[in-house]
């Protein structure tokens, strides 16, 4: 991911590099002007040379300031652009990943990748890269100038090179491990904070404030220990650089003073050499700092690349079939399905050879006990997952041959608990139809019979719902979710226990309205309440992942006692008929 980012923003990065070259060249020229000013100006009494050196120094300082300003602006522009590009690319990929991935990865960990990991990567590509380039250029340029000024003094500086090499190797090895641990522990803190803030009502209700705080303190302590390891490494390495710099300076002063007295070394040359020597060790210090940035970015890039490398297993087909005007006919043929685990390994089957036909415009009610596989059927029709065997068609077209965009336009979903986004009631309903006006929403709500529920709020459609809809009652939140799906005007509408959160009065209004509205589209109602499914065109009873009864409700009710037992999940009716009646539908229906 790093290379595409660098290519996409190479203009500002190259401008920053060019400015850094100019800045480095100006900085390298200034000590040489000091040499000229001392040897050819002060010691000879030549005021003209001294004046020229002073003016040249002022000009170079001005060039250095302008180049530094250009570099900062260019790097900031590239950094902000890369940050935005990388974050959008990662978030876009996360939205394409299957439900399996999101169900097995904590949101806090993904948030950490979208924030801290991306920032570390872009920081390396911008400021880190420029610092690396400038420091390397300064180091190499200073080394060349030192040799040109006085090879003997330059050779004296090499005494500390073995110590620097050993210290740098040690620091790199220790720092790599420590920074990887820092990123992992920082992510753990983010995950804990995100989970705890989401669960504040439960924490307070069960008086778990102390236990929660203890868990947070534990992961925070691990992060502190990880950061302490990096500090200890830096506490050894950077003073070592300072020591080497001091020893080299002492050696140069000793040899230089002797050369001035015995070999005629010019004082200006010795002064310039000492100034350059200071610049010789500064890049090493900066490069060591950049190495920390490299380690942080490497740890972040490892996690980000891991996400980006995760394939979208439920992907769009290479040659899709366009669904222009869907009618809503749904057919499930021999569906067998098992949920995969976090590693993609398929678990035990939760649906077994399920076959159902829902003609366009009809209503199918799917009933059964909890865990029977009802909601799994809804997820497969939405293509949150693909079946292991069998196929599902919409108007005769296999769902795997449709694009996600066409399928999502054709099928809408109302889950058991409708998720609301921060904003107003109207904003949340407009997720179904972004072009809908308040008048359109009110008309739909009146038609559905739930307008009194919305109008009873303090601000009507403008009422702010709060975080995850906390400002609304459970009944109001579900009404908003129902209207949101309805405004999408789908060919197929899936209700997964959609009225379970409604109060009696609201539920009565919704049930009455939906009997009329179901005539306009295919509706699949998932429920464990048999009484709420009796007005459907067909009823499917699911138990242990199998359809054990399927037909018109009136016909199935002819065996009401048998059907009630199935829905309730009872395995036996009486000692003599348990085996046959609990496993076989009446009259041979399936």
Identify the CATH number of the domain in which residue 257 sits. 1.20.1560.10
Across residues 200-212, what is the average pLDDT?
79
Segment 539-567 mean pLDDT: 78
Q: Are 294 and 334 within one domain?
A: no
User: In sequence order, which residues have a C-beta less than 8 Å from that of residue 212 and are 6 or more positions away?
Assistant: 196, 203
Whose tokens are 């924030």? That residue is 115
Q: Are residues 125 and 226 in the same domain?
A: yes
At 276 the pLDDT is 87
The per-residue pLDDT for range 4-21, each reduced to its tens digit, is 776 777 788 888 888 988
CB-count burial class (<10 Å; 0-12, 13-18, 19+) for 554:
exposed
Host H or E run for residue 392 = strand 389-394
pLDDT band at 381 (very low <50, low <70, confident <90, very high): very high
Residue 316 in any domain: the answer is no
Domain harbouring 493, CATH code? 3.40.50.300
Tell me which of 20-29, 50-59, 320-329, 341-350 is least confident. 341-350
What are the residues whose beta carbons fall under 8 Å from the beta carbon of 456, sequence distance 6 or more? none
Backbone phi, psi, residue 350, to 5°: -110, -15
Domain identity same for 408 and 505: yes
User: What residue ranges in 300-385 does DSSP mark as E strands?
Assistant: 330-340, 346-358, 363-367
Residue percentage of the chain with pLDDT more than 90: 17
- Give the separation between CA 381 and CA 144, rounded to whole angstroms: 70
- Quickly count helices (H) and strands (E) in the chain: 22, 10
The answer to whether residue 321 sits within a structural domain is no
Q: Which secondary-structure segment (H or E) carries 15?
A: helix 10-36
Residue tagged 């993904």 (tokens)? 110
User: Is 324 part of any domain?
Assistant: no
Tokens found for residue 415: 């889950």
Give dist(CA 13, CA 139) in Å, integer: 21
User: Which residue carries 């060790």 as its tokens?
Assistant: 281
Contact 308, 188 (CB under 8 A): no
| Helix%, strand%, coil% for the chain, nearest 5 | 65, 10, 20
Mean pLDDT of 99-105: 82
Q: Is 323 domain-assigned?
A: no
pLDDT by residue (tens digit) across 468-482? 888 888 778 888 888
For 548, half-sphere exposure in the C-beta direction (CA atoms, 13 angstrom radius) is 25
Residue 151 has phi, psi (to 5 degrees) of -60, -35
**Model's pTM, two decimal places?**
0.69
pLDDT of 587 above 50: no
The predicted structure's pLDDT at residue 426 = 92
Q: Do 225 and 365 sit in the same domain of this protein?
A: no
For the stretch 36-55, pLDDT in tens is: 999 888 888 888 888 998 99
Q: Are residues 550 and 444 both part of a single domain?
A: yes
Token pair for residue 320? 């899709």
Residue 104 belongs to domain spanning: 2-308
Q: Which long-range contacts (CB under 8 A, 24 or more apart) does 279-282 make?
A: 279/27, 279/28, 279/31, 279/138, 279/142, 280/139, 280/142, 280/143, 280/146, 280/157, 280/248, 281/241, 281/244, 281/245, 281/248, 282/138
Query: Which of 242-246, 432-436, 501-505 is predicted most confidently?
Result: 432-436
pLDDT digits (tens, 9 = 90+) for 132-159: 788 888 888 888 888 888 888 888 877 7
| DSSP designation for 529 | -
Q: Judging by DSSP bridges, how do beta strands 538-543 and 411-414 pair with one another? A: unpaired
The kind and range of the H/E element at 550 are strand 546-551
Mean pLDDT, residues 436-448 taken together: 89
> In the prediction, which pLDDT does 589 show?
40
Question: Predicted confidence band at 568 (pLDDT cuts at 50, 70, 90)?
Answer: low
- For the segment 381-394, the average pLDDT, to the nearest whole number, is 92
CB-count exposure of residue 92 (10 Å: 0-12, 13-18, 19+): exposed
- Identify which of 8-12, 533-537, 544-548 has the greatest average pLDDT: 544-548
pLDDT band, very low/low/confident/very high, at 387 (cuts 50, 70, 90): very high
Lowest-confidence pick of 210-224, 408-422, 569-583: 569-583
Q: In angstroms, rounded to a whole number, what is the distance separating the alpha carbons of residues 366 and 417?
A: 18
How far is CA 578 from its chain centroid?
52
Q: For residues 159 and 264, state if they share a domain.
A: yes
DSSP 332: E
For residue 351, the cross-strand partners are 337
Q: Are residues 417 and 459 in the same domain?
A: yes
Residue 322 lies in a domain: no
What pLDDT is recorded for position 437? 92
Tell me: do 519 and 478 sit in the same domain. yes
**Total length of the chain:** 590
The pLDDT score that the predictor gives to residue 576 is: 34
C-alpha radius of gyration, the chain, whole number: 36
User: How far is residue 423's CA from residue 84's CA, in Å, rounded to a whole number?
Assistant: 24
Any domain includes 94: yes
Cα–Cα dist 393/283, whole Å: 65
217 & 128 share domain? yes
Going by C-beta distance under 8 Å and a sequence separation of 6 or more, which residues neighbour residue 302?
none
Query: Considering all CA atoms of the chain, what is the largest pairwise distance in Å, rounded to the nearest integer?
Result: 124
Judgement on whether residues 257 and 402 belong to the same structural domain of the protein: no
* Residue 457 dihedral angles phi and psi, to the nearest 5°: -75, 165
The secondary structure of 196-238 as a DSSP string is HHHTHHHHHHTT-HHHHHHHHHHHHHHHHHHHHHHHHHHHHHH
The answer to whether 272 and 35 have CB atoms below 8 angstroms apart is yes
Q: What is the SS3 string spanning 24-43?
A: HHHHHHHHHHHHHHHHHHHC
- What mean pLDDT value characterizes the chain? 82
Residues forming beta bridges with residue 306, ordered by sequence position: none
- pLDDT value, residue 430: 92
Distance CA 270, CA 279 (A): 14
Question: How many angstroms separate the CA atoms of 204 and 150, rounded?
Answer: 74
- Number of Cβ within 10 Å of residue 385's Cβ equals 18
What pLDDT is recorded for position 96? 84
CA 564 to chain centre: 46
Tokens 């290519």 belong to 7
Kindly tell me the burial class for residue 534, based on how many C-beta atoms sit within 10 Å of its own C-beta (0-12, 13-18, 19 or more): middle
Between 112 and 557, where is the model more confident?
112
Number of domains in the chain: 2
**Do 299 and 183 fall into the same domain?**
yes
Give me the pLDDT at residue 333, please.
95
Residues 267 and 358 in one domain: no
């Amino acid at each position: 991911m790093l290379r595409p980012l660098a290519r996409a923003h190479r203009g500002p990065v190259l401008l920053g590099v060019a400015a850094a070259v100019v800045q480095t060249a100006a900085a390298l020229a200034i000590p040489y002007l000091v040499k000229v000013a001392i040897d050819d100006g002060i010691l000879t009494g030549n005021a003209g040379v001294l004046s020229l050196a002073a003016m040249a120094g002022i000009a170079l300082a001005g060039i250095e300031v302008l180049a530094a300003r250009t570099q900062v602006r260019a790097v900031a522009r590239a950094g902000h652009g890369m940050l935005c590009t990388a974050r959008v690319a990662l978030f876009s990929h996360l939205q394409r990943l299957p439900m399996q991935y999101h169900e097995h990865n904590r949101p806090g960990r993904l948030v950490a990748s979208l924030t801290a990991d991306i920032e570390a990567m872009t920081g390396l590509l911008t400021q880190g890269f420029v610092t690396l380039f400038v420091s390397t250029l300064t180091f190499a340029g200073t080394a060349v100038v030192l040799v040109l000024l006085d090879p003997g003094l330059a050779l004296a500086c090499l005494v500390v090179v073995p110590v620097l090499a050993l210290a740098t190797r040690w620091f790199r090895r220790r720092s790599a491990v420590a920074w990887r641990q820092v990123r992992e522990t920082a992510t753990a803190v983010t995950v804990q904070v995100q989970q705890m803030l989401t669960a504040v009502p439960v924490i307070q209700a069960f008086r778990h404030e102390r236990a929660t705080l203890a868990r947070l303190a534990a992961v925070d302590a691990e992060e502190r220990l990880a950061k302490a390891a990096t500090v200890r490494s830096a506490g050894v390495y950077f003073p070592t650089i300072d020591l080497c710099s001091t020893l080299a300076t002492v050696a140069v002063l000793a040899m230089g003073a002797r050369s001035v007295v015995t070999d005629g070394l010019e004082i200006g040359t010795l002064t310039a050499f000492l100034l350059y020597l200071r610049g010789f060790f500064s890049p090493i210090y900066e490069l060591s700092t950049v190495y920390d940035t490299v380690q942080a970015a490497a740890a972040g890039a490892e996690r980000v690349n891991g996400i980006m490398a995760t394939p979208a297993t439920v992907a769009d087909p290479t040659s899709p079939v366009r669904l222009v005007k869907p009618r809503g006919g749904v057919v499930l043929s021999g569906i067998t399905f098992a949920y995969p685990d976090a590693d993609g390994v398929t678990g035990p089957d939760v649906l077994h050879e399920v076959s159902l036909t829902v003609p366009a415009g009809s209503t199918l009610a799917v009933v059964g006990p909890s865990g029977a596989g009802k909601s799994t059927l809804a997820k497969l029709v939405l293509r949150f997952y693909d079946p292991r065997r069998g196929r599902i068609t919409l108007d005769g077209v296999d769902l795997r041959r449709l694009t996600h965009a066409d399928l999502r336009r054709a099928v809408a979903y109302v889950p058991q608990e409708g998720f609301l986004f921060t904003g107003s009631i109207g904003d949340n309903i407009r997720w179904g139809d972004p072009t809908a006006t308040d008048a359109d929403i009110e008309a739909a709500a009146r038609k559905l019979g739930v307008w009194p529920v919305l109008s009873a709020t303090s601000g009507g459609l403008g009422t702010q719902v709060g975080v995850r809809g906390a400002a609304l009652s459970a009944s109001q939140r579900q009404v908003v979710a129902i209207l949101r799906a309805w405004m999408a005007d789908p060919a197929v509408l899936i209700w997964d226990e959609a009225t379970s959160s409604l109060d009696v009065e609201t539920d009565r209004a919704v049930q009455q309205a939906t009997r009329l509205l179901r005539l306009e589209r295919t509706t699949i109602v998932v429920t464990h309440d048999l009484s709420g499914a009796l007005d459907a065109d067909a009823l499917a009873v699911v138990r242990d992942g199998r359809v054990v009864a399927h037909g018109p409700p009136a016909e199935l009710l002819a065996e009401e006692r048998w059907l009630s037992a199935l829905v309730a999940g009872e395995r036996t009716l009486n000692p003599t008929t348990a085996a046959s009646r609990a496993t076989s539908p009446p009259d041979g229906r399936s």
